[in-house]
Amino acid sequence: MPQDKRHQGDDLVALGLARLEAGDRDGALEHFRDVLTRTPGDPDALHGMACAARAAGRPDLAIGLAGKAIAALPAAHFHITLGRALHEQGHLEEARAALSVATLREPRDPRAHAALAGVLEAQGARAEAEVSLRRAVALRPRDPAPMLELAQLRTRGGDRPGGIALTRQAVALAPDRVESLDALAALLAGAGQAEEAEPVYRDILRLRPADPAAWANHGAALFGLNRHDAARAALEHAARLAPEVAETQNNLGLVLMALGHLPEAHAALAAARALRPEDSRIAVNAATVLADLSRTGEAEDLCRAVLARADAGADLDAARARFNLGTLLLARGAGAEGWRCLEARSRLIPITDDRGGNIPDWDGSAIESGAVLLRAEQGLGDTIQFLRYLPQAARRARLVLDIPESLHRLVRTMPDPDGTLWPRCRLLAPGAPPPPDIVARCGLISLPDRLGMPDVPAFSPYLLPTMARARQAAGVVRVGLCWAGNPSYRFDRRRSVSPAMLAPLGEVAGVSFVSLQHDDSGEGGAAGLPFALERPAQGDLLATARTIAGLDLVITVDTATAHLAGAMGRPVWLLNRFGGDWRWSAYFDLSTPSPWGNRGSRWYPSLHQFRQMRPDPPAHAWDEPVARMRDALARWRDGLR
């Protein structure tokens, strides 16, 4: 070919490749066809067609086109395209051969080494793959692309810290390269380093302010940090930019649910389900908001539908569906099936230590030799609630009780009327390994199922039951207040109360309030309360119990304080959110009317609820139950005088 025509052909091929690089695949294909019409068999045009075929998802066609190009001109970069196409078709050995030729023909081309690394990793030769990628990095040390590939290789090999460090290096080489920032943010989020991931997502948003995915990712990161209001704003903006993205609608629904906007949360999750009707994760989230809206029948049907799917045997979404189904069943009194379904929590609750990990589960049968390791699994409230089953468990086996140290002194106050509990139950020291006589293990919450006790056992006070209330000055009623739970709990905004919302209680004369908070949790902290608050000395749960024993009444949200006062048999009023936790459902109400709030609880007969009766907006959701509580408190005060 004459030199001027050769240059002309080169320019035409370059134009086609530029179109391909810009994402105009069809235009590139048409362009290369035109070049081949003018100069049949042109190797560069054939190679361009092979690149376009790969971009179109047709590696099979690319293999043939790249082969023809190589037959005419065995250029190294033609072998790279052939090797990548063979890799995509699953022909690993042939791909490795083609890419090895490329590295031999042009050993200074980092693309050849990087492509060869991908094949080597697919063949299980991870160490050789890393060597190839390090060659690519050495050949182009200022290029973030091979550095990022090396980081991803290290991460896939289990070295997440190494992957993060290399990705940071890639970001440092090109701080405004979105691909590197995306990779870094995902790695940090996956490593649980949410605080570090969030500003990276913010950087991506700065570079792509009109990108709905950038807004959605930033919103998800903010949600992970419990920054719900900011997360809502970001996700709503993402949904406006791209309303047909199921993941955005799903995350928006979760944020709205956490904020207490239940009808809006249901609408977002319904939209997500319509976009991805077979997605089990979205379906379980939708069932959760239905339960919170007290549409429990629909929620149960949705959970059962998830479990009925053929692929639902092993995934975590099925475990979530089974656990949620368990809470729905318990809430309506189907205890036997409900407790069994609750066992799915073993796949959902993170294990913070593996002590006893190889010990078999206890089935509840009598054990004559050895002991059962009985472990607290969740919060202090759950532990207190299920301690009531200890005497029954101790009749079947000797027990080693593994519970938080803050409960150790308190649990020793449990009565032992028939002398079978404490001779057969001992406490495990904090951090100590299970003793050698352990032959089985069981979670405290599993006891109703393992002991065959599907319904609530008869109640008598079982923590600090004999301590009498200290006499107070005439006319003074002492009321303990606990208005907030653990703020790290994702849905704490729904159960906790802003102190300012309790202002009506201060209108009741003759009442002295005592703080049962262990910190200033809650919006505004204690400073938001418009009345004086006594602060007793803090300590472990026994110290709190002794404070409660000196009170006339405890007012609390759904926290360990409710369980503690209830287990002591002390009067306790629970402010409970609409569609609240299963254990406070109407099924567990006492049959006798309550002179105070809603009916008392079979879990704790001295506990009376003041429920939200409607899914009102969060700003007003507590107005009505607090007003009822204020009036009840005035009547309670009069009854004590």
* pTM for the whole structure: 0.85
Please give the pLDDT value at position 459: 94
Residue with tokens 């050495």: 138
Assign a CATH topology to domain 3-200: 1.25.40
- The reported pLDDT for the residue numbered 33 is 85
Asked if residue 3 has pLDDT above 50, the reply is no
Band of residue 36 on the pLDDT scale cut at 50, 70, 90: confident
DSSP 238-301: HHHH-TT-HHHHHHHHHHHHHHT-HHHHHHHHHHHHHH-TT-HHHHHHHHHHHHHTT-HHHHHH
Question: Does residue 6 register a pLDDT over 50?
Answer: no
Residue 35: exposure state from Cβ atoms within 10 A (0-12, 13-18, ≥19): buried
Specify the CATH superfamily of domain 477-640.
Glycogen Phosphorylase B; (3.40.50.2000)
Confidence class for position 469, pLDDT limits 50, 70, 90: low
Residues in the chain, total:
641
CB burial string 124-139: b at 16+ within 10 A, e below: eebebbbebbbbbbeb
Q: Output the six-digit token pair for 510.
A: 């003759």
**Apex 37 CA angle, 33 and 43, nearest 5:** 70
Residue 4 has pLDDT above 60, yes or no: no
Torsion of CA 24, 26, 32, 38, to 10 degrees: -120
For 47-76, the pLDDT digits (tens) are: 988 998 998 899 999 999 999 999 999 999
pLDDT at 26 over 90: no
Residue-wise pLDDT tens digits, 349-365: 765 555 656 899 999 99
Residue 173: which pLDDT band, with cuts at 50, 70 and 90? Answer: very high
- C-alpha 448/C-alpha 334 separation (Å) is 13
- Tell me what the mean pLDDT of segment 433-438 comes to: 94
For domain 278-347, is the CATH number 1.10.10?
Answer: no
Say what the pLDDT of residue 491 is: 86
Exposure of 132 in the CB half-sphere (CA atoms within 13 A): 25
Contact 615, 577 (CB under 8 A): no
Amino acid at 252: L
Structure tokens at 328: 């729905």
The pLDDT tens digits of the residues spanning 192-235 come to: 898 999 999 999 999 999 999 999 999 999 999 999 999 999 99
**202 vs 18 pLDDT, higher one:** 202
Please say if the pLDDT value at position 313 is more than 60: no
What whole-number percentage of the chain has pLDDT above 90? 76
What does the alpha-carbon distance between residue 461 and residue 469 come to, in Å, rounded to a whole number?
14
Q: CA torsion, points 118, 119, 125, 130, in degrees to nearest 10?
A: -30
pLDDT of 329 reads 98
Q: Which contacts qualify for 515-521: CB closer than 8 Å, 24 or more apart? A: 515/480, 515/481, 515/482, 516/480, 516/481, 516/482, 516/544, 516/547, 516/548, 516/554, 516/556, 516/561, 517/481, 517/482, 517/483, 517/484, 518/544, 521/484, 521/485, 521/486, 521/487, 521/496
- Identify the weakest region by mean pLDDT among 314-323, 368-377, 431-440: 314-323
Q: List, for residues 575-629, the tens digit of each pLDDT value.
A: 999 999 999 999 999 999 888 888 889 999 999 999 999 999 998 999 999 999 9
Average pLDDT in the 93-112 region? 96
